[in-house]
Copies of this chain bind each other. A is one copy, B any other.
């Protein structure tokens, strides 16, 4: 019984208004008066090493933020209890007044807020994050995958504002994605809608970490760029600058490829050109299939190779179906607090639907 691990309600604490268990567990606010009538929400982004907490106003302004280290091995109850304490300590009465809490997690979130898989949070899958968060914060909770939360954040408050149909691609070590279609967040039947990194772009192509072959991520993820550069450096005569920068082929990373590219290394240039070609072709398919008004790109690979955005856009303008070519491209506009901010806003949106 996780509720036994919570401290007893204290006057003035954010635990003071914990609803009866049945109500809290459903997380839909029935039987609870919203504290400040939906004007603010807390957003919690649980990562493998740190947990970001923001206090956000309706409409998206960040009023205040704080963070705590995540100790995944202590479990979800402990982490969310500490997050609630940190919110109270940092935001004071405002934390108490917030109407809802949105929790963003790097993992697969089931339709009812149960965590189904999370590589960076071992032992957490199976945890009913919605119930735990609702209990820890004493307000209705909504739980969403971190990339989906960041997508929503970009749509409402970042580079995606003003359009109805949006596709977002985050190119980091892996390639994550999300979409807002006709104003609705793409969630999917099992909560993994938006995994555009695992679109097949080369039938029978390179092996991906997901076990399949030919995925977009197997060419454009940070790990894949480094792997392709290592293979090429071992095979060919190019790449002297790349090898000098990295020390050895084994030590080549996305960052050393980016540095070698800027130093004029021909192998890094070739890897970059191939990456642009595959990324552009993948986005052409996404644009044809989903017909968004705007595509947003962000993440470490875009930070390291900013030209990828313009290169992919140029390919789309040449090769997408003519009706879809007017799609706009933009770089992600929110900083690291996009998932927490998006989760807070999604929690407020749920509250408005139901209360």
Q: Show the binding face of A for B, using Cβ within 8 Å.
A: 108, 116-117, 163-165, 177, 181-182, 184, 186-196, 198-204, 210-215, 277-278, 281-282, 284-286, 288-293, 319-324, 326-327
Contact = CB atoms under 8 A, between A and B. Distances in A.
A189 B165 CA distance: 6
Contacts of A323: 108, 116-117, 190-192
The residue in A187, A277, A284 that gathers the most chain B C-beta atoms within 10 A of its C-beta is A284
B181 A289 contact: no
10 contacts: A189-B291, A189-B327, A192-B288, A192-B324, A193-B290, A195-B289, A200-B201, A202-B203, A215-B288, A285-B285
A293 B213 CA distance: 23
| Copies of this chain in its oligomeric complex | 2
A196 B289 contact: yes
Nearest to A117: B323
Contact of A198 (B187, B190, B196, B288): B288
Given A165-B189, A212-B320, A215-B285, 12 more contacts: A165-B188, A181-B188, A181-B193, A189-B324, A190-B323, A192-B323, A198-B288, A201-B285, A203-B277, A203-B278, A203-B281, A214-B281
The residue in A163, A282, A289, A326 that gathers the most chain B C-beta atoms within 10 A of its C-beta is A289
A227 to B, nearest CB: 17
A211 B291 contact: no
A288 B195 contact: yes
B184 A281 contact: no
A23 to B, nearest CB: 26
A215 to B, nearest CB: 8
A174 to B, nearest CB: 12
Contacts of A165: 188-189, 193
B200 A290 contact: no
Nearest to A219: B203
A201 B201 contact: yes
Contacts of A278: 203
A265 B353 CA distance: 59
Contacts of A204: 277, 281
Contact of A182 (B164, B184, B291): B184
Contact of A321 (B192, B214, B284, B285): B192
Nearest to A185: B182
The residue in A117, A212, A293 that gathers the most chain B C-beta atoms within 10 A of its C-beta is A212
A187 B293 CA distance: 12
Contact of A200 (B196, B282, B293, B324): B282
User: Which 3 pairs show the lowest CB-CB distances between chains A and B?
Assistant: A188-B291, A199-B285, A189-B293
Given A165-B193, A285-B198, A188 B277 contact: no
A189 B288 contact: no
Nearest to A294: B189
Given A117-B323, A203-B202, A181 B190 contact: no
Contacts of A189: 163-165, 291-293, 324, 327
A244 to B, nearest CB: 31
A29 to B, nearest CB: 21
A129 B102 CA distance: 44
The residue in A117, A204, A281, A327 that gathers the most chain B C-beta atoms within 10 A of its C-beta is A281
The residue in A188, A213, A278, A284 that gathers the most chain B C-beta atoms within 10 A of its C-beta is A188
